[in-house]
Copies of this chain bind each other. A is one copy, B any other.
């Protein structure tokens, strides 16, 4: 049995993902300015210097976190494809996005925070990646509309409504829990949420 000669590499990967996870949480809870290296270090249970060793500075760490988020977020829209059935595809998209809101709320919060503040760090990302990605999806939706599979509405605003409606449950999680008498949503309540959003949105866009 060969000894693995890469103890370093394995350790490096472990540490990096551990730091990113901690950073995602701290950036979400405190915003960019409020997130200090010492808070992130405490969360990751690693010395502050070690974090700087891996990521050089705060902005680099932040960008790494945001890029991870964006990749996941992007892959959630895999179902929005020309040849898929619109209702099924959009229902699937809503389901997936709500599951992400439930399971990975911190990423969503970091993104929201960044955009609210005018994307000072990831403006280039928005102009390139997000812009292209959004246009691609809009083309698909417009195709569905043009071929009579969807009611004639705005593809752009439909996307925005799906984003807003789903991400709300991540970004405003705290508000929702407060209004739910300080309890997290139960499985049943998440089911209800999924059902509600699909019900309203699909009813709004399907040809009658």
A contact patch SS: helix
A198 CB, min distance to chain B CBs, angstroms: 10
A199 within 8 A of B: yes
A205 within 8 A of B: yes
A52 CB, min distance to chain B CBs, angstroms: 20
Contact (Cβ within 8 A) B126 A197: no
A43 within 8 A of B: no
A119 within 8 A of B: yes
* Contact of A175 with B130 at beta-carbon distance under 8 Å, contacts A192-B154, A200-B201 already known: yes
- For A126, what are the chain B residues with a Cβ–Cβ distance below 8 Å? 174-175, 178-179
* Contact of A174 with B28 at beta-carbon distance under 8 Å, contacts A163-B168, A196-B157, A204-B203 already known: no
Residues on A facing B (Cβ under 8 Å): 28-34, 109, 112-113, 115-119, 123, 126-127, 130-131, 134, 153-154, 156-158, 160-161, 163-165, 167-169, 171-172, 174-176, 178-179, 182, 192-193, 196-197, 199-201, 203-205
Q: A33-B34, A112-B172 are known contacts; what are 15 more A-B pairs with Cβ within 8 Å?
A: A30-B33, A34-B34, A115-B172, A115-B174, A123-B178, A126-B178, A127-B178, A130-B175, A131-B179, A134-B179, A160-B168, A161-B168, A164-B165, A164-B172, A200-B201
